[in-house]
A and B are shown apart, each in its own frame.
Chain A
Amino acid sequence: MESTVLKIENFSAFFGENQVLEEVNLSIPQNRITAIMGPSGCGKTTLIRCVNRMHELIPGARVSGKIFLDSEDIYATDPIIVRRQIGMVFQKPNPFPMMSIYDNVIAGYNLNGIRLAKGEKDRIVEESLRKAALWEEVKEALYRRGTFLSGGQQQRLCIARALAMGPAILLLDEPTSALDPKATSHIEELIGELKDTVSIILVTHNMGQAARVSDFAAFVYLGELVEFGPSGKMFTAPKDKRTEEYLTGKFG
């Protein structure tokens, strides 16, 4: 039995009158890659944005149900604390344009006003960039602006920035949808290496990607969690008819 890092219980999300998620129950296993699949607009992005409480930034958004991170209800915790423990990488790479590569990686500390000794900062920056497989490419250019990098490098910089905070969980919201195939395979490779450090939730509408990198997969359709299980099983013998139809390309 896998140990669980995040437990979602009877969770529903709304935008005003619109219900986007219906009674989702899901246990995210520790140090594994969990892919969340589903057609556009099915609520998969909303689901992970609820996990780090970014969902509530939209006016009119509300939720019901509970999400536990290591037995602590994240909706009873300050969102600022939650977001430091649950990092997020977005669809489009979004490094801070006014900061150098170095400052981008350490931004989580600098922006939060956490003071660190120079040596400590250097160590975190190098370690995070190494984990994000970017160190060798940028070690000579740490003080150049992050926006000089290519799209794929920028996305890895964003991953390094999230890792620098030492999160328990890393949320990846279609991290490769804005990247070319080469950068995509680079990121996928990286995701596979990262699971020793951090539990990963990967939202993707690319089934191939889910099949390649994930250990577990969840299929969300019209706000409902249809199926969840080990990826191998789900891709070869889905239990639910809707999952099968999605995987075989009947809709989506």
Chain B
Amino acid sequence: MKEHLVKRRILYDKLFKIIIILLTFCSILPMFFILFFITSKGISVINWRFLTHLPKPVGEIGGGISNAIIGTLILIGIATTFSVPVGILAGIFLSENRKGRLASLTRLCVETLQGIPSIVIGIIAYIWLVVSMGSFSALSGGVALGLMMLPIIITATEETLKLIPESLREASLALGVSYPRTIVKVILPAGVSGILTGILLSISRVAGETAPLLFTAFGSPFMNVNILKPINSLPLMIFNYATSPYPDWHTLAWGASFILIVLVLGLNLFTKVVTKRWKVQF
């Protein structure tokens, strides 16, 4: 090959590399801007009082977000208790029955559920629970969030269990272990890292959801731990404060945003640790 052709190729090669790096950089840039912006706006209000005090009425200086933090945790707790068992069992069903009419129907439903807008899920939970029970409640908000977590957990469980080698199941069955015990004691433990990852990701996915909570958890200026009463949550509080006309509340909304982001980022990092730590090598 001629000298100049080789040189051109090397040049193309370098150019291509530069473009890839540039585009990658562009795609992560917004994330850093968001983080920087929220941190610079929100960090000024963060102190111990902000985390431990209740919100104050308009006009009074100060006030915290303790009820929103507790509320978010309670909502996630409710959502998790209800979606994890259902999600894991459905995931097991799907991975065990790759074909079959019920399985493909279930898969279709899961995909559809994943595509339903969160505001619609909120309305559904409103009709199911708020209307029938006669009150906005943490329970209805938790169920709405749980419905959103469900498809993520089901898919994660199914995909994880599908990857577990058949030889493992055979090893267990050949020892005379019954099918249910094989699933619970061999297949699930082998997939624990993938399933946990799915659960944690689904939590961090719904932790910042506002829409499904608008007609369900509703929000509350008080500290509430009764799951049958309205409850505050971080995204709801941010929504209410940010859309209010008071500059003082805007600052609090930035602070709450910062806390929410820290929670979600922390959860994501924790997920990475879990994935690594509990990974089962086949």
Contacts and interface: CB of A to CB of B under 8 A. Distances in A.
Interface of A: 52, 54, 57, 80-84, 87-88, 90, 92, 94-98, 107-108, 110-113, 145, 147, 158, 161-162, 165
Contacts of B186: 96, 111
Contact of B171 (A90, A112, A165): A90
6 contacts: A87-B175, A97-B168, A98-B192, A111-B177, A111-B182, A145-B281
Interface string B13-46: 0000000000000000000000000000000000
Given A94-B165, A97-B280, A111-B185, A83 B190 contact: no
B167 A165 contact: no
A107 B281 contact: no
Listed from nearest, the 8 A-B pairs whose CB atoms lie closest are A84-B176, A83-B176, A94-B167, A108-B175, A88-B174, A111-B177, A94-B171, A97-B280
Nearest to A93: B167
A237 B192 CA distance: 55
A80 B181 CA distance: 12
Contact of B173 (A54, A96, A98): A54
Given A54-B170, A54-B173, A88-B174, A112 B282 contact: no
A80 B174 contact: no
Given A94-B168, A96-B168, A96-B186, A54 B281 contact: no
A80 B170 contact: no
Nearest to A59: B99
B15 to A, nearest CB: 45
B85 interface: no
Given A111-B185, A111-B186, A83 B280 contact: no
Contacts of A162: 174-175
Interface in B157-171: 165, 167-168, 170-171
B224 interface: no
Given A97-B280, A98-B190, A147-B281, A112 B176 contact: yes
A161 B172 CA distance: 10
A13 B254 CA distance: 70
B189 A165 contact: no
B168 A83 contact: no
A131 to B, nearest CB: 16
B171 to A, nearest CB: 4
Contacts of B181: 111-113
A95 B182 CA distance: 14
Nearest to A83: B176
B280 A98 contact: yes
Contacts of A83: 173-176
A82 B173 CA distance: 11
A107 B192 CA distance: 18
B190 A108 contact: no
A158 B173 contact: no
A111 B174 contact: no
Given A80-B178, A83-B176, A97 B171 contact: no
A51 B176 CA distance: 13
Contact of A108 (B168, B176, B178, B182): B176
Nearest to B278: A98
A52 B182 contact: no
Contacts of A108: 175-177
Interface string B186-197: 100110100000
Contact of A111 (B175, B190, B280): B175
Interface in B41-76: none
Contact of B175 (A98, A112, A113, A145): A112
Contacts of A111: 172, 175, 177, 181-182, 185-186
Given A94-B170, A96-B190, 13 more contacts: A52-B174, A83-B174, A84-B176, A87-B174, A96-B168, A96-B171, A97-B168, A98-B280, A107-B175, A111-B172, A111-B182, A111-B185, A112-B176
Contacts of B178: 80, 112
A97 B281 contact: yes
A81 B171 contact: no
B105 to A, nearest CB: 19
B174 A54 contact: yes
Contacts of B177: 80, 108, 111-112
Contacts of B171: 90, 94-96, 158, 161
Contacts of A82: 176
A92 B167 contact: yes
Contacts of A90: 167, 170-171, 174
B191 to A, nearest CB: 10
A96 B189 CA distance: 10
A145 B173 CA distance: 21
B8 to A, nearest CB: 48
